[in-house]
Amino acid sequence: MNGETIFIEGGRVIDPASGTDGVRTVVLRDGRIAEVAERWERPRDVRAIDARGRWVVPGLVDLHVHLREPGQEYKETVETGARAAVAGGFTAVCAMPNTSPVNDNASVTELMLARAAAAGLARVYPVGCISRGLKGEELAEYGELKSAGCVALSDDGKPVTSSALMRRALEYARAFELPVTVHEEDLGLVGKGVMNEGPTATRLGLKGIPTASEEVMVLRDIALAELTGGRLHVAHLSSAGSVRAVRDAKRRGLRVSAEATPHHLTLTDEDVARSRYDTSFKMNPPLRSAADVRAVREGLADGTIDCIATDHAPHSAVEKDLEFEAAANGIVGLETAFAVCLALVREGALSETRLVEAFTIAAARAFGLPGGTLARGAPADVAILDPGLTWRCDPGRFRSKGRNSPWKDALLVGRCTHTLVGGRLVHELDRGEP
Amino acid sequence: MIGRHRHLIGLEPLSREEIVGVLQLAISMKEVLRRPIKKVPTLRGKAVVNLFFEASTRTRTSFETAAKILSADALNWTSASSSVTKGETLVDTARNIEAMHPDVLVIRHPAGGAPQLVADHVSCAVVSAGDGAHEHPSQGLLDLYTLAEHFSGVRGKAVGEKGAAPNFGSIAGKTIAIVGDVSHSRVARSDLHGFTKLGARVRVCGPPTMIPQGMETLGATVHYQLREAVEGADAVVMLRIQHERIGDPLIPGTREYSKFWGLNEKKAAEWLTPGCVILHPGPVNRGVELAPEVADGARSVILDQVENGVAIRMAILYLLAGGAQGAHTSAAEGAARS
């Protein structure tokens, strides 16, 4: 990308892929990691970033974001989404295809990539549709999508209701080695539900969504992955039953991976009541019970759930400033993910190494993406994170256009201070912030 | 203000004392209601807007009557459709109405949480007149008032007569059954909060498809057999089976429902204790949840509920329209004497 050499000095390098954890100097040259060493002599005129007291980790990789372009640029654009990504330490994001028009053809894929290149911030990897037009009826053209740059397939936002189509998708995608990432819900069981079914929904008088609506589909797709030998990736897994199903599938050697979101790892359905129907706590799948959150945390810790993905879903006030049942699903997450998940380490639910792994190499491996490591020769995608920095979450200062964050006004600990993509500094935390 | 609260969104957030405060005030309001000249100047110059997004005759008329007796100006804003289909958001509608400077906004809406959303965006007091399957706080309060009248033996006595005031402590220790489609019922939720806060034991009963999760955590016992729920109960609240609310196939039909969960004279005679009264939030589906003989029979306190509803809503409007600054009880008594 760029011929400049940069030294990142004095930071604690945590690179689970290479087993490194200690104070190192990281040398970036020609867009690649040139060296990671305990001491490395810096030539006089070479630029250095002082990372003392901070973590130096591979740039974070997010398998699940909604960048809204083309079609809903008032919510987010590839550029604002990529800006939010690098502000949160993410150097690569996978953009879901439920844009307008949807990403079921090369021209939409190419448009996203062109916008991403023009922005010159995070790497953007488009995800193509499983079904043409996101209609759930016939297969999209996976070969064309892959050639144009798609890295995975998804009808995200919608389940693939037809088991027959899902079977063919898993089979056909094998020819192109594309993972099929699924949004799991049985729409009949969901009905008009708007939050997790349980005592809190009963108290609030809101229609519930049972965890079984997710689990029956996860179990179906695991059976189809077994039938077809296809690559299944379960998006935003939210229930204890889903964790059990994926754990069992992995034990049986199936090609199944899974992700969990920061909110499903830290918030519960009771937060909907606590916030008094705040629509920033409305998403799909909904926030679940405390027991589900415990199970999802355990699944992440033991590797059943491979990685953390934000499901960054910006909406404007037009979609959110409504009755809870009428509001759109989804919250933004790129700029808060690290701090929110770092709390899991403080609470003893996760080791520091596993946290970094789940944000980096584990995500990259799930979709076969480059990066996720600071090994010599890898792309020079690096995040410098301050694990002790306390800041007040002010959505008004987000780089994202979305303001729909359940962490509004929360005091968060942990923040990205520098992000480098291909050896280029693309984000540096303003000293005036927080 | 109702205790610490500027709005009345539900009974769940209220303390026992705050609930009893409203009930106590309703005693003098009921006395005003029964006068030959039903008008006091207490809320003169205050404006109450009834903002109804759902059909309702009884509740709206009750709030309107309550406002007029207290000399407030009552205005009805009815919208057949909810905000989304109409193109104007609820928040916009509320702000528009607020620009007309009402003192109290009474809102009924099909979405749970809608009154809270409105309260978050306006500066006047907000009263929920029922939101989705969440709460119907004024109904919960009027049910408490009606029960207390019965339990303290003042039913039928002239208000103001010595010893005619209901004792709200009489609800403690009583057993009350709530029967019907609890899952879709805001009345059931407000009743449950109100009854348990005043010390009653609550049983909920209905087909399992109509009993939502977590009833036990809200302090009720769950029963699927009607007999088990009503035997030994001191009062039974029969809920309306609302055809229009049943989106899922919760029951095969009203005939079977009536047979197993409806109350007719025979079951009432065999299973209910002699003193057990029957409440219903109305309107009654005669022949479905209640046989006509039972709805009109000696155990029925349905019309008491309607009358007490006006008194309760007078008390609510009085407290929230700023009629009560500090010593509300004496002020209200002043109003009642005037």
Residue of B nearest to A188 (CA): B248
The widest CA-to-CA distance across chain B, in whole angstroms, is 57
> Do B238 and B191 belong to one domain?
yes
> Do B292 and B212 belong to one domain?
yes
Residue of A nearest to B216 (CA): A199
**DSSP notation for B146-185:** HHHHHHTT-TTSPTTSTT-S--GGGGTT-EEEEES-GGG-
- CATH at residue B106: 3.40.50.1370
CB contact under 8 A, A206 and B12: no
Chain A nearest C-alpha distance from B248 (Å): 8
CB contact under 8 A, A322 and B91: yes
Number of H helices, E strands in chain A: 15, 18
> Do B38 and B129 belong to one domain?
yes
**Looking at the domain assignment, is residue B24 inside a domain?**
yes
A266-311 pLDDT, tens digit each: 999 999 999 999 999 999 999 999 999 999 999 999 999 999 999 9
For A21, the enclosing helix (H) or strand (E) is: strand A20-29
B85 contacts chain A (CB < 8 A): no
> Do B162 and B293 belong to one domain?
yes
Q: Cα separation of A259 and B193, whole Å? A: 39
B280 SS3 class? coil
CB contact under 8 A, A206 and B89: no
CB contact under 8 A, A199 and B218: yes
pLDDT in the model for residue B289: 95
> Do B170 and B268 belong to one domain?
yes
- Report yes or no: A56 and A8 within 8 Å, Cβ to Cβ: yes
> Do B53 and B142 belong to one domain?
no
**Chain B residues with CB-CB distance to A192 below 8 A:** 247
**Looking at the domain assignment, is residue B291 inside a domain?**
yes
> Do B260 and B167 belong to one domain?
yes
**Looking at the domain assignment, is residue B287 inside a domain?**
yes
- Report yes or no: B140 and B193 within 8 Å, Cβ to Cβ: yes
> Do B149 and B239 belong to one domain?
yes
> Do B168 and B296 belong to one domain?
yes
pLDDT in the model for residue B249: 81
Which residue in B84, B90, B212 is closest to A202 by CB distance? Answer: B212
Site from B11, B213, B222 to mutate, A interface, most A CB atoms within 10 angstroms: B213
Q: Please tell me the total count of domains within chain B.
A: 2
Q: Model confidence at B337, in pLDDT bands (50, 70, 90)?
A: very low
Which residue in A192, A207, A323 is closest to B90 by CB distance? Answer: A323
**Looking at the domain assignment, is residue B3 inside a domain?**
no
B215 contacts chain A (CB < 8 A): yes
Structural domain boundaries enclosing B68: 16-135+307-337
CA-based angle A285:A290:A291, to the nearest 5? 95
**Chain A residues with CB-CB distance to B89 below 8 A:** 321-322
Of residues B250 and B275, which shows the higher confidence score? Answer: B275
pLDDT at B327 over 90: no
> Do B164 and B146 belong to one domain?
yes
**Positions of E strands within A155-236:** 180-182, 195-196, 208-209, 232-234
B247 contacts chain A (CB < 8 A): yes
A100-125 pLDDT, tens digit each: 999 999 999 999 999 999 999 999 99
**Looking at the domain assignment, is residue B152 inside a domain?**
yes
**Chain B residues with CB-CB distance to A273 below 8 A:** none
**Looking at the domain assignment, is residue B2 inside a domain?**
no
CB contact under 8 A, B247 and A191: yes
Quote the crossing angle between the two packed helices B58-69 and B137-151, to the nearest 10°.
80
Residue of B nearest to A198 (CA): B213
Q: Model confidence at B162, in pLDDT bands (50, 70, 90)?
A: low
**Chain A residues with CB-CB distance to B91 below 8 A:** 321-322
A 264-323: CB under 8 A from B: 276-277, 321-323
Q: Is A311 a catalytic residue?
A: yes
pLDDT in the model for residue A88: 98
pTM here is 0.93
Residue of B nearest to A327 (CA): B84
Find where tokens 């088990």 sit: B228
A202 contacts chain B (CB < 8 A): yes
pLDDT in the model for residue B155: 84
Which residue in A197, A198, A323 is closest to B113 by CB distance? Answer: A323
**Looking at the domain assignment, is residue B325 inside a domain?**
yes
CB contact under 8 A, B117 and A277: yes
**Positions of E strands within A96-205:** 123-128, 152-154, 180-182, 195-196
Half-sphere exposure of A275 (CA within 13 A, CB side): 20
> Do B175 and B289 belong to one domain?
yes
The alpha-helical segments, DSSP class H, found in B99-253 are 114-121, 137-151, 186-197, 226-230
Contacts of B290 (CB under 8 A, 6+ apart): B238, B262, B263, B278, B280, B284
pLDDT at B80 over 70: no
Tell me which of A15, A292, A311, A381 is the catalytic residue.
A311
For the four alpha carbons of B264, B269, B271 and B277, in that order, the dihedral sign comes to positive
B98-137 pLDDT, tens digit each: 999 999 999 999 999 999 999 999 999 999 999 999 999 9
Q: What is the value of ipTM here, to two decimals? A: 0.89
Chain A nearest C-alpha distance from B185 (Å): 8
Q: Model confidence at B326, in pLDDT bands (50, 70, 90)?
A: very low
**Chain B residues with CB-CB distance to A276 below 8 A:** 113, 116, 120
**Looking at the domain assignment, is residue B46 inside a domain?**
yes
Chain B nearest C-alpha distance from A93 (Å): 34
Candidates A182, A147, A144; CA nearest to A366 is A182
B 131-160: CB under 8 A from A: 131-135
Q: Model confidence at B56, in pLDDT bands (50, 70, 90)?
A: confident
CB contact under 8 A, A206 and B189: no
- Report yes or no: B313 and B18 within 8 Å, Cβ to Cβ: no
pLDDT values of chain A reduced to their tens digit, one per residue, 434 residues: 456 899 999 999 999 999 999 999 999 999 999 999 998 899 999 999 999 999 999 999 999 999 999 999 999 999 999 999 999 999 999 999 999 999 999 999 999 999 999 999 999 999 999 999 999 999 999 999 999 999 999 999 999 999 999 999 999 999 999 999 999 999 999 999 999 999 999 999 999 999 999 999 999 999 999 999 999 999 999 999 999 999 999 999 999 999 999 999 999 999 999 999 999 999 999 999 999 999 999 999 999 999 999 999 999 999 999 999 999 999 999 999 999 999 999 999 999 999 999 999 999 999 999 999 999 999 999 999 999 999 999 999 999 999 999 999 999 999 999 999 999 999 999 877 65
Site from A192, A194, A292, A323 to mutate, B interface, most B CB atoms within 10 angstroms: A323
> Do B109 and B58 belong to one domain?
yes
Q: Domains of chain A (ranges plus CATH)? A: 6-56+379-428 (2.30.40.10), 59-361 (3.20.20.140)
Averaged confidence pLDDT in chain B: 91
Of residues A110 and B81, which shows the higher confidence score? Answer: A110
Q: Model confidence at B192, in pLDDT bands (50, 70, 90)?
A: very high
